Structure 1
Amino acid sequence: MSDEEASMSELSDDYSDAADDFDEDMEQGYDDDSELSEGFISDSGFSPLGDPSSTCSTDRRGSLDPKGKGKARASNISSFRRVGEVEFRVLSSQELKDEQSRAVDYVADMLKLKPEGAAVLLRYFAWKKEKLLEAYMEDSEGTLAKAGIQESGSQPRLKRVRGFECSICYDDSNQETLALSCDHRFCKACYFTYVMAKINDEGESRRIQCMGNDCNVIVDERTVELLADDDTLARYRSLLNRTYVDDNNQLRWCPAPNCDYAIECNVTPRQLNCVIPTVECACSHMSCFGCGEADHRPCVCPIVKRWLKKCADDSETSNWIQANTKECTKCNSTIEKNGGCNHMTCKRCQWEFCWVCMGPWSDHGTAWYNCARFEEKGEKGIEDVQSKSRASLKRYLHYYNRYANHEQSIKLEKELALRTEKKMDEMQEHSTLSWIEVQFLAKAVQELTRARTILKWTYAMTFYLAKNNQTQMFEDNQNDLEQAVESLAELVERPLEEDKIAQLRQQTTDRTVYVAKRCKVLLEDTLRGYDEQRWIWADPIKL
């Protein structure tokens, strides 16, 4: 019996318990990772690779229920939860507004300011309350002036002023006018046009200034409400929400298309070489809080950034050129050999030379197309450079092809998911299984996608790892998961046989559980390796 068959047999013995746990995990979005990952953070925190003296601790905020499901502590406040190494919470647009309102009320109460002024002050200080209060206590008037607040003036309101002439449009009819606390007055029509252009055309919201020359008094939210139509007001408030998120290092917008949720996570840039801050939005999109890319466990952000750049730029084109072309020794033009003959003639300068030794062709005498100086020391150096370039390219393509293969398989499995739905319908027609009982196929496809995503990034990680015993162990785990994934994929795509549906259900569920277990083993060991500083990179990580 093979190792894999033995593992399958062991899993079948306690199949019912494993299947129940697996079904629950599937329904909850693999919150099982939440439990296992709590062990990844040691009491002393993480230490960046290559810098034993520094610490890389993760601030874990909030509280978790025993199963890590992240149930809300209060009905109107999103709770912190965990799917990987860090806690996070998802905030809706309304929750973002509520967060801002609480901060505004706090500052307004502390400094005895109007709420509109407190909001302008907070936005000026990028919502850093401590910095704001410190500056205000040192110089209250100067701080307000720099922020664009003039508390002593009257509240902005629309009114008609007899005999007033707008200094912009020179209209002197008896129309409504508006002045901020600075008392620079303009007609409502001009102010409306100005504010609409700032919001709709320039995307400005927090620093819309008075139209008066050299006046920095800010057009606050109450004033915008006096002027804007409903659509523009909605855009203005949306822009304010966006600036709130952009100003806060612990907030990031969900990168999924057309998603309006923001995610809060207390992880710092310095931690990103040893922590993978995986988060899951309410829209179900999983991403990395550190870099914004899709979930890339078990690869840390600096390696992901380096790998994606390597795949996107022309560095490997350069390697190919070095491996397959040479420069003319006279004019330095790049020449590609397109035939078997070693007698080369540069098209640019007509220089004739030998492709093997790069020496003048005239020196070859009667040797003709057989270079007799291939082993000479100087030419051997050239061949060494060529060999290294070829070896570098071959190594890169080895890992890239496997990375790209899983990426392509993930895309194809979206089509497989559609075919699986049809197969599930067929199962119901030809057996007594209910719709819930045939869900094992859909769960298998979900697990395949998850496992292939992990495998994809293991190849990027291996490319940068130095060769040692730890890397060999990592590759062993990688190979085990690879075999488990291919075994499950073959089973899922197998044609349906009516008399073997029960057997297919049993085998598919067993192998799906096994793939999930292998994913867990690989992630657990890899992430613990970051904590223990076991992973040695061929080149140091630089943030």
Structure 2
Amino acid sequence: MSSDEYNASDEEYEYEYTDDEDQDVTMTTTHNDEGEEEEDSKPPASDEKKSGSNKRMSSGSARENPQGAPVGVFDFGDGSSIRMLPASELKPIMANQIKEVVDVLDIPPSAASILMREHKWAKERLFQAFFDNPDKVQEKCGVKARCSGSSSIGGADKVAKTSGKNRATRSSSKRKHCEICMDDDGFESDEMICMPCGHEFCELCWYGFISNALEKGPLCVRESCPQAGCNELVTEEEVKQAAPDLLPKFESYQLRSFVETYGMTRWCPGAGCEQVAVARGATADGGGIAHCEKCTTSFCLKCGEEPHAPVTCRDLTLWQDKCRNESETANWILANTKPCPKCHRRIEKNQGCNHMTCSGCKFEFCWICMGDWTQHGANTGGYYKCNKYDPNSADDNDQSDAARARRELDRYLHYYKRYHGHSEAQEFAKKSLKETEARMVALQEQNVDSTWTDVEFLKTANEQLVQCRQVLKYTYAFAFYLQDNEKRQRFEFHQEMLEKFTENLTELSEKPLHEMNRTEVVNQTRVVDKFMANILKYVDDGMED
């Protein structure tokens, strides 16, 4: 029996699924060399159908690691979670999704796989569309001929299913002509392979066709019949017959397509990483942060970017598009160096702190606003100048198109400069974090009575700085889309507080080791963590006090 033929007992397929008590049940049937079926002692699927109680894993459920290995769990906060799994461990989940569609629609598994993929693995959406108009769905998805031999919904069972023979079968006539190579001598019937749509080609041409399709990468799973104008899709059944050695590669692209279109999975964006984030109990649309322990990459499950709170995925996309569109102007205005406000000597920023001292005239100023640093002390409230955009600084009396464009550019540059500044500071903090262990060793050697635990505060502080710079960076993308009202003013207050204490921690952590005060660094790290949590909670609460 071909693996594309599916009947009530589910022979030749192995599916893993869980019942209501979360107990795994596996159905397996193998064939011996004589083609006879050998069943194990596990309950057959037919018993379930007779009792009318199909036991299935709920849609998208990944509650158990198929291999039984421990995996990390990351809570959304509503009881659901995210797990990181090797891509290969998603095969049982994909097979279970296909099985449920086969059970309900009574179609071949190869067709069910295509229908699910075209409906982004949303079973309910597929079922609704299929019940409304099965012929239209089958035609649109390229499986109409493949399904024509099934007892399909809506009276589509035009031909009874064959018993023990695949629809993609070998031709039975004596001599056949291949429409691809047009060989004058023709071919024996056992040298031809026929698609469910009735189009047949020689084995050699089939192999070449499939090889070329695989060169297209993931798009190969959408390859249609070689016959011009035919939209019947090529599946694993044709690959299995014509190019069995290429089947593993084709199936790997099927799995990749599943990961990329299934609403609850996302590839880890880490370079060369093949781990997959799987949402449990919530869809990817719900968001959530995944952390891959294999490559140490953290990312947003919904958009795949680095964690970007407080800005939403939608606004982040708008912001990134705007930054790309304005990049040439911004790069022209924002140079890598800035002139000292007093002596105009060019200065390069080579540390994370925004408190700058001109090496020429010793003038101290803020790298962000270029103002006198003495106006940025805790007693002056000067920090507000660096995080709040003041539209009154522009010429509001000029209402010309050019003036309006200039004001909009000024507003954008205000937020972009601060976004870019914190982005650079974040990268510097990451670099410092990599060098932290060497500093910890040196500090421990400097204080002979200290333990490794006594110097770990340096690593904790640098990790906090990386996280804070990341949050601060995205607060400016978030603020760019805020309306000018009291909520925005309160948000900027939280933003200013976090910036102030982050700058303090940066200065403390960059001090020479002999000037390092452990108590000060530990206390400031806790303060920064508190204010970072405050601004995120403020946004999560709808910016309501």
Q: Give the TM interval when normalised to the shorter protein.
A: 0.5 to 0.7
Alpha carbons 1:122, 1:132 under 8 Å: kept: yes
1:217 aligns with 2:229: no
Give 1:87 shift. Answer: 4.6
Alpha carbons 1:83, 1:280 under 8 Å: kept: no
Q: Give the one of 499, 524, 530 matched to 1:511.
A: 524
Distance 1:392 1:508, change over 3 A: same
Alpha carbons 2:236, 2:247 under 8 Å: kept: no
**Corresponding residue for residue 250 of structure 2:** 236
Q: Give the one of 467, 470, 482 matched to 1:465.
A: 482
**Superposed CA offset, 1:104-144 (max 9, x none):** 12222334444333323433444332343345556666755
1:100 aligns with 2:117: no
* Distance of 2:398 and 2:278 partners within structure 1: 54
Alpha carbons 1:71, 1:79 under 8 Å: kept: no
1:307 aligns with 2:319: yes
* Distance of 1:135 and 1:389 partners within structure 2: 48
* Residue identity (%): 29
1:89 aligns with 2:82: yes
1:426 aligns with 2:442: yes
Q: Give the one of 410, 415, 423 matched to 2:431.
A: 415
SS of equivalent to 1:450: helix
Matches within 5 A, 1:107-126: 107-126=101-120
Distance 1:204 1:312, change over 3 A: closer
Q: Structure 2 length normalisation: TM-score?
A: 0.61
* Distance of 2:241 and 2:319 partners within structure 1: 51
Q: Give the one of 504, 507, 513 matched to 1:487.
A: 504
Give 1:299 shift. Answer: 1.7
SS of equivalent to 2:542: helix
* Distance of 2:135 and 2:405 partners within structure 1: 65
Opposite residue 105 of structure 1, the aligned amino acid is: K
Give 1:436 shift. Answer: 4.7
Q: Give the one of 280, 302, 305 matched to 1:293.
A: 305
**Corresponding residue for residue 29 of structure 2:** none
Give 1:407 shift. Answer: 0.7
Alpha carbons 1:82, 1:279 under 8 Å: kept: no
Give 1:198 shift. Answer: 1.6
Distance 1:177 1:432, change over 3 A: farther
Alpha carbons 2:436, 2:458 under 8 Å: kept: yes
Give 1:279 shift. Answer: 4.0
1:451 aligns with 2:444: no
* Distance of 1:476 and 1:115 partners within structure 2: 58
Give 1:253 shift. Answer: 3.4
**Superposed CA offset, 1:153-211 (max 9, x none):** 64135799864443322444668432233443322110011112122236434333333
SS of equivalent to 2:299: strand
Distance 1:113 1:468, change over 3 A: closer
Q: Give the one of 192, 217, 231 matched to 1:177.
A: 192
Give 1:409 shift. Answer: 0.9
**Corresponding residue for residue 30 of structure 2:** none
Give 1:412 shift. Answer: 1.4
* Distance of 1:488 and 1:460 partners within structure 2: 23
Distance 1:162 1:391, change over 3 A: closer
Matches within 5 A, 1:49-448: 75=68, 81-82=74-75, 87-90=80-83, 91-137=85-131, 144=138, 147-148=143-144, 149=146, 150-151=148-149, 152=161, 154-155=165-166, 156=168, 163-171=175-183, 172=186, 176-201=191-216, 203-228=218-243, 230=245, 232-264=246-278, 266=282, 277-282=288-293, 283-314=295-326, 317=329, 392-430=408-446, 431-448=448-465
Q: Which runs of 5+ in 2 are unaligned?
A: 1-59, 150-160, 334-395
Alpha carbons 2:66, 2:89 under 8 Å: kept: no
**Superposed CA offset, 1:416-441 (max 9, x none):** 12332221221333324444543322
SS of equivalent to 1:127: coil
Distance 1:102 1:523, change over 3 A: same
Q: Structure 1 length normalisation: TM-score?
A: 0.62
* Distance of 2:512 and 2:112 partners within structure 1: 67
For the aligned residue pairs, the C-alpha RMSD in angstroms reads 4.1
Higher helix content, 1 or 2 = 1
* Distance of 1:214 and 1:384 partners within structure 2: 57
Question: Which of the pair has the greater relative contact order for Cα pairs under 8 Å at 6+ separation?
Answer: 1
Distance 1:302 1:122, change over 3 A: closer
Opposite residue 261 of structure 2, the aligned amino acid is: D
* Distance of 2:204 and 2:105 partners within structure 1: 35
Q: How many residues align?
A: 398
* Distance of 2:113 and 2:137 partners within structure 1: 14
